[in-house]
Every structure is written in C-alpha cells, then in structure tokens.
C-alpha cells in the first residue's frame, strides 16, 4: 500500500551561506492569479532527469540498454505518460544522451562543465537548470537509475505538492532489516542493536519495518531549492512498492535488473495483449544480411541455429511466425532452411502484406510482433503491438521500436526477441489472473 507522512513541517534557512550564482536576466514571472487578473494559472511543474556522460561505474550507463530500452527511457516514458508535468527535461553534457532524450520526447538542457564534474552534486545541476528556466515553479527530480517507476506514483506526488500544499516530497521504500552499531577496527567494543531487542526478535509479519530513501525522485518547490535544499519546508515522504523500488546504482546488477524491469516495469499506456503473430524480416534479422554466390550463380545465405530454435519455440507456444523480404531472394534457398514458415519475398510494401496477414488471422495490431532492421521496416515497427530490431539495425529502425536486441541480425537476435516475447506474455497472463 502506498502511504505518506503528512504535516511534518520544518522551517529552513541557508546555513551553507551559498553565494548567489551568476544567472541569465530573469523574465517577468507569470501572474499566479493575484489582483483579480483572470483565472489562476497552475504552478509550472517540470520533470528533470540528470544524466551526465561521465559515469564512473558503467560507461554511458544512462543510455545503456536495459531490457531493450535505454535506461533513461524507462523513467522518461513514465514521466511523459503521467500527464502531470508541464515540461519534461533531461540535463546532460553528452550528445548521445541528448539524442536519446529527444527521441523519447523530452526537452534537453545542456549543462555546463561547472556542474558536470565528478564532485558536482545533483543540487548544483538543478540550481543551474532553474537559473535558465524562470518559468519553472516546482522541480520533480527523477533518477534515471529507477527503471521500475510508474506514472501513478508521479501522479500521486504531484497531487500532494499541488493540492495538499507540501513544499517537498521524496520517495521511500519499506525494509525489514535489523541494524547494528558499527565497531571500528582495533577498538575493543561490543556491537549494540539499533532497532531491535535481540531477546524478543519480531517475526517479519509482526514488524512494520522502517522507511528508507530509495532515491527514485525528489520533488521540491523553487524557493526551497534556491535556498540550497531538496528536502525541507512542509515535507512528506511517498512510499513506493518494494517491487518498483529498483536502483541500479545500488541494489542489483544489470541482468537481474532486466528481469525485474520485465516483470514490474512500466511499458506504456496501452495494455499489452497476447502476441499471436511474429513477422520477421529475412535480410539482416533472420540472416546477417550477407549473401554469397556460388560458381553456378546460386545464392547462399547463413543463419544461426539459435534463431531456428527461437522460431520453433514460438510455434510450439502457439505464435505464428512468418518471414518477409523486400528483396527477390530465392524461396528455394529459404525453403532449404526447413523453418516451415510462410514467407513473402520481393515485397515493395511490407505494411500492406503484414496488414493482409493480420486480417487473414483475425488479429488486431496489438497481437502482432515485428522484428525488422531497415528503413523499409519502419512503418511496420511503428504499427504493431510489439516491435524489435537487432543491435546492428539502422538508426531509423532503432528509433521506431520498443526493444533493441543485444545480438546482431543473423547472430541470435530472433531468439533473443522470442525470449522477450515470452517474458512479456507471462506479464500479460499474470495481469489477467489478478
């Protein structure tokens, strides 16, 4: 259950004596409805994700693919779909991160080198952002490393700020962990329990546990941030569900994070439907796109046995698999692969063919998956319910999809995409059983 502590207020000063930063000239602030001049304008709430390029642990971690999506894409999707922000921003110093942010629909603030150092704090970067965005009244600082964040969490926090008058709200998670005092090496002392009586150790179900910050987000009003605080004034916490509280910086390694995201992550506004048809582009997906020609002018192609197994597994689970190509490739050569799939080659309009197949099977677009890699696949990738591309797909195709494989075309991408489908179908089944 989500819960919040309300009414915990405190007055704040600026003990740091932070000097005022040089900033661009301020624009005239918009009236918030005083002096009877029309309808009161709601305060401008901006989502801000900080994503500098210089990650120490994992190079360009913020755009490294997690479950087929750039890490920062998960929180951007949640922020944009929440509908509570007047603007959604990414503050970065890196071109590649900027491109990914814009691809997901965010605006970009190019942060200065002054606040992009290893020693720079989040507060430094947020204050710089506010210096350039006088229109912003409230900042929702969302951590890029929290991929299981859901729009519903952000909607509830926005209501607490706007409707209930809190100056700051931050996310927490409940943990059932017993704590003990730390003993320094070489000191002859005994450790002491900090939150339990060892003689009466409670069972988990008999103990409410304790609340810990999980770092997923920090919302604060402008005046508080300009005083040097992200938490203060009339403040409250927002308790997130434990399964949604994933912090890749701290809690888990990447492979485990992927499994958590596939199970508990937010995949968009549209509900997932069970996939009944997978259409796979032949050149560059089933194969690596290389064509060999024998001395007698016969076409020779290669494929990965893992992908053939992927096709077999999909068919055994009741998913039809069909192959398509814009090239006039040899059906005889493809038949020799013994994949037992219906195929169409020399197709000038792939979308029309896939639409025909869809209607033939009586399916809606949400029940169709597509694996493509070229510009000619773009419309199909945008139309279907589940789309994917190999790691070496062209940039146009990559921008149109929901899942980017780790494997290249003809080198296991189809099998990987099949596994992704199975995981999502498990999510669909579980949601239907609830």
pLDDT in tens, 14-65: 333 333 333 433 333 343 434 444 567 889 999 999 998 876 667 788 998 8
Active site members: 201
User: From CA 143, how far away is CA 79, in angstroms rounded?
Assistant: 11
Strand partners for 303: 287
In terms of pLDDT, which residue wins out, 158 or 248? 158
Give residue 333's pLDDT band: very low, low, confident or very high (50, 70, 90).
Answer: low
Q: Hey, which CATH number is domain 45-253, 3.20.20.80, 3.30.200.20, 3.10.20.30, 3.90.550.10?
A: 3.90.550.10
CA distance 288 to 282: 9
Q: Where in the chain is the domain with CATH 3.90.550.10?
A: 45-253
Across residues 5-18, what is the average pLDDT? Answer: 39
Domain covering 277-433, topology: Rossmann fold (3.40.50)
**Contact by Cβ (8 Å): 386, 279:** no
Phi-psi region of 432 (alpha: psi -120 to 50; beta: other; left: phi over 0): alpha
Among all chains, which residue has been given the structure tokens 């949604």?
244
Q: How far from the centroid of its chain's Cα atoms is residue 94's Cα?
A: 19
More confident call, 427 vs 28: 427
Residue identified by tokens 């197994």 is: 309
Q: What share of the chain is helix, strand, coil (3-state, %, to 5)?
A: 35, 20, 45
Residue 38: the pLDDT is 54
pLDDT of residue 235: 95
Q: How far apart are the first and last CA of the chain?
A: 16
Per-residue burial over 220-234, b = 16 or more CB atoms within 10 Å of its CB, e = otherwise? bbbebbbbbbbbbbb
What is the spatial distance between Cα 224 and Cα 161, in angstroms, rounded to a whole number? Answer: 13
Can you read off the two tokens belonging to residue 57? 């642990």
Which residue intervals of the chain bear CATH 3.40.50.1000? 277-433
């Amino acid at each position: 259950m989500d819960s919040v502590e309300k009414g915990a207020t405190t007055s704040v000063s600026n003990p740091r004596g932070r000097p005022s930063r040089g900033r661009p000239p301020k624009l005239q602030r918009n009236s918030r409805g005083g002096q009877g001049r029309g309808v009161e304008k709601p305060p401008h709430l901006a989502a801000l994700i900080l994503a500098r390029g210089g990650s120490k642990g994992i190079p360009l971690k913020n755009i490294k693919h997690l479950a087929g999506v750039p890490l920062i894409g998960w929180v951007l999707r949640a922020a944009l779909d929440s509908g509570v922000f007047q603007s959604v921003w990414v503050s970065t110093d890196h071109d590649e991160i900027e491109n990914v942010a814009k691809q997901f629909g965010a605006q970009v603030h190019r942060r200065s080198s002054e606040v992009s150092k290893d020693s720079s704090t989040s507060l430094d970067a947020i204050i710089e952002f506010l210096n350039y965005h006088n229109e912003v009244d409230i900042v929702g600082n969302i951590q890029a490393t929290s991929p299981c964040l859901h729009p519903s969490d952000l909607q509830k926090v926005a209501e607490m700020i706007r409707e209930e008058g809190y100056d700051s709200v931050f996310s927490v998670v409940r943990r059932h962990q017993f704590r003990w005092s730390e003993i320094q090496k070489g000191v002859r002392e005994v450790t002491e329990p900090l939150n339990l009586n060892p003689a009466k150790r409670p069972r988990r179900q008999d103990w409410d546990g304790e609340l810990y910050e999980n770092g997923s987000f920090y919302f604060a009003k402008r005046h508080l941030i300009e005083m040097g605080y992200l938490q203060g004034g009339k403040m409250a916490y927002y308790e997130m569900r434990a399964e949604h509280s994933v912090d890749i910086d701290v809690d888990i390694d990447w492979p485990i994070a992927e499994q958590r995201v596939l199970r508990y992550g937010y995949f968009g506004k549209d509900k997932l439907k069970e996939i009944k048809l997978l259409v796979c582009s032949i050149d560059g997906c089933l194969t690596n796109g290389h064509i060999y020609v024998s001395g007698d002018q016969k076409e020779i192609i290669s494929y990965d046995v893992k992908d053939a197994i992927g096709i077999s597994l999909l068919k055994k689970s009741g998913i039809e698999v069909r192959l398509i190509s814009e090239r006039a490739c040899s059906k005889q050569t493809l038949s020799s692969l013994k994949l037992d799939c219906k195929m169409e080659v020399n197709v000038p309009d792939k979308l029309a063919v896939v639409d025909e197949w869809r209607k033939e099977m009586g399916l809606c677009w949400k029940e169709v998956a597509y694996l493509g890699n070229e510009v000619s696949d773009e419309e199909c990738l945008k139309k279907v319910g589940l789309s994917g591309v190999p790691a070496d797909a062209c940039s146009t195709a990559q921008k149109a999809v929901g899942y980017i494989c780790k494997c290249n075309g003809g080198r296991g991408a189809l099998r990987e995409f099949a596994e992704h489908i199975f995981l999502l179908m498990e999510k669909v089944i579980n949601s239907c059983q609830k």
